[in-house]
Structure 1
Amino acid sequence: MLELLLCSVLTVLPDYLYRRFAEGKRIGKEITLYSMWFELRWGIITCLMLTVGLITVIFYYHPSTTSATLYFRTVPIAPEISGRVAQIYVSGVSSEVKQGAPIFRLDSSTQEAAAEAARRKIAEVEASMVSARTDIAAADGKIQEAASAVQQAVDELETKQELNRRNAAIVAPREIEKLQNLVKGRRGALAAATAAKQSAEAQISSLLPAQKASAEAALAQAKVELAKTIIRAGVSGRVEQFTLRVGDIVNPLMRPAGVLIPDVSGRRTVIAGFGQIEAQVMKVGMVAEVACVSKPWTVIPMVITGVQDFIAAGQFRGGEQLIDPQQVVRPGSILVFLEPLYDGGLDDVARGSSCIANAYTSNHDLIASGSVGGFKSLMLHAIDATGLVHAMILRMQALILPIRTLVFSGH
Structure 2
Amino acid sequence: MLEFMICSLLTIFPDFLFRRYAQGKRLGREINLYSMWFELRWGITACVILTLSLITLIFYYHPSTKNVTAVFRTVTILPEANGRVAEVFVGTNEKVAAGAPLFRLDSTGQEAALETARRRVSELDAESAVAQTELVAADGLIAQAEGAYQQAVDEYETQVELNRRNPNVVAKREIERRQVAVNSREGALAAAVSNKQTLQTKIASLLPAQKASAEAALAQAQVELDKTVVRAGTAGMVQQFALRPGDIVNPMIRSAGILIPEDRRVGLIAGFGQIEAQVLKPGMIAEVTCIGKPFTIIPMVVTEVQDVIAAGQVRPADQLVDVQQMARPGTLTSFLEPLYEDQFTGIPPGSNCIANAYTSNHDELTHGNVSTPRWLFLHMVDALGLVHAMILRLQALLLPVQTLVLTGH
TM-score class normalised by the smaller sequence? over 0.9
Aligned equivalents of 1:282, 1:98: Cα separation in 2: 41
Match of 1:19 in 2: 19
Contact 1:268 1:346 in 2 (8 A): no
Aligned equivalents of 2:405, 2:176: Cα separation in 1: 125
TM-score by length of 1: 0.94
Deviations 1:14-55 (A, max 9, x none): 111122222222222222111111111111111111111111
Match of 1:363 in 2: 361
| Per-residue deviation, 1:205 | 2.2
Partner of 2:253: helix, strand, or coil? coil
Match of 1:110 in 2: 109
Match of 1:60 in 2: 60
Deviations 1:299-348 (A, max 9, x none): 11111111112222222235566555444211222111111111011132
| Per-residue deviation, 1:77 | 0.4
Match of 2:390 in 1: 392
Partner of 1:66: helix, strand, or coil? strand
Q: 1:37 is aligned with what amino acid?
A: W
Q: What is the number of equivalent residue pairs in this alignment?
A: 409
Aligned equivalents of 1:242, 1:319: Cα separation in 2: 33
Deviations 1:229-269 (A, max 9, x none): 1212222222211111223221111111101222333x242
| Per-residue deviation, 1:73 | 2.5
Match of 1:274 in 2: 272
Q: 1:344 is aligned with what amino acid?
A: D
Aligned equivalents of 1:172, 1:374: Cα separation in 2: 135
TM-score by length of 2: 0.94
Match of 1:283 in 2: 281
Match of 1:137 in 2: 136
Match of 1:185 in 2: 184
Match of 1:51 in 2: 51
Q: 2:252 is aligned with what amino acid?
A: L
Deviations 1:44-83 (A, max 9, x none): 1111111111111111111100111122232210000112
Aligned equivalents of 2:189, 2:229: Cα separation in 1: 59
Aligned equivalents of 1:278, 1:170: Cα separation in 2: 123
Match of 1:89 in 2: 89
Q: 2:10 is aligned with what amino acid?
A: L
Contact 2:73 2:266 in 1 (8 A): no
Aligned equivalents of 2:244, 2:219: Cα separation in 1: 30
Aligned equivalents of 2:81, 2:164: Cα separation in 1: 86
Aligned equivalents of 1:370, 1:179: Cα separation in 2: 114
Which structure 2 residues correspond to residues 2-401 of structure 1 after superposition, within 5 A? 2-90=2-90, 92-265=91-264, 267-318=265-316, 323-369=321-367, 371-401=369-399
Partner of 1:244: helix, strand, or coil? coil
Aligned equivalents of 2:389, 2:377: Cα separation in 1: 19
Aligned equivalents of 2:318, 2:121: Cα separation in 1: 55
Q: Against the structure 1 CA distance between its residues 30 and 388, is the aligned structure 2 distance closer, same or farther, given a 3 Å change threshold?
A: same
Q: Against the structure 1 CA distance between its residues 279 and 44, is the aligned structure 2 distance closer, same or farther, given a 3 Å change threshold?
A: same
Contact 1:268 1:340 in 2 (8 A): no
Contact 1:79 1:231 in 2 (8 A): yes
Unaligned runs of 5+ in 2: none
Partner of 1:84: helix, strand, or coil? strand
Unaligned runs of 5+ in 1: none
Q: 1:64 is aligned with what amino acid?
A: S
Partner of 2:260: helix, strand, or coil? strand
Deviations 1:155-200 (A, max 9, x none): 1221122212222333344443443333233223223322321221
TM-align CA RMSD: 1.9
Aligned equivalents of 2:32, 2:286: Cα separation in 1: 45
Aligned equivalents of 1:323, 1:110: Cα separation in 2: 46
Partner of 1:70: helix, strand, or coil? strand
Partner of 1:168: helix, strand, or coil? coil
Q: Against the structure 1 CA distance between its residues 89 and 278, is the aligned structure 2 distance closer, same or farther, given a 3 Å change threshold?
A: same
Deviations 1:375-399 (A, max 9, x none): 3222222211111111111111111
Contact 1:294 1:353 in 2 (8 A): yes
Aligned equivalents of 2:170, 2:238: Cα separation in 1: 101
Q: Percent identity?
A: 61
Aligned equivalents of 1:320, 1:119: Cα separation in 2: 49
Contact 1:287 1:303 in 2 (8 A): yes
Partner of 2:296: helix, strand, or coil? coil
Q: 2:37 is aligned with what amino acid?
A: W
Aligned equivalents of 1:112, 1:329: Cα separation in 2: 56
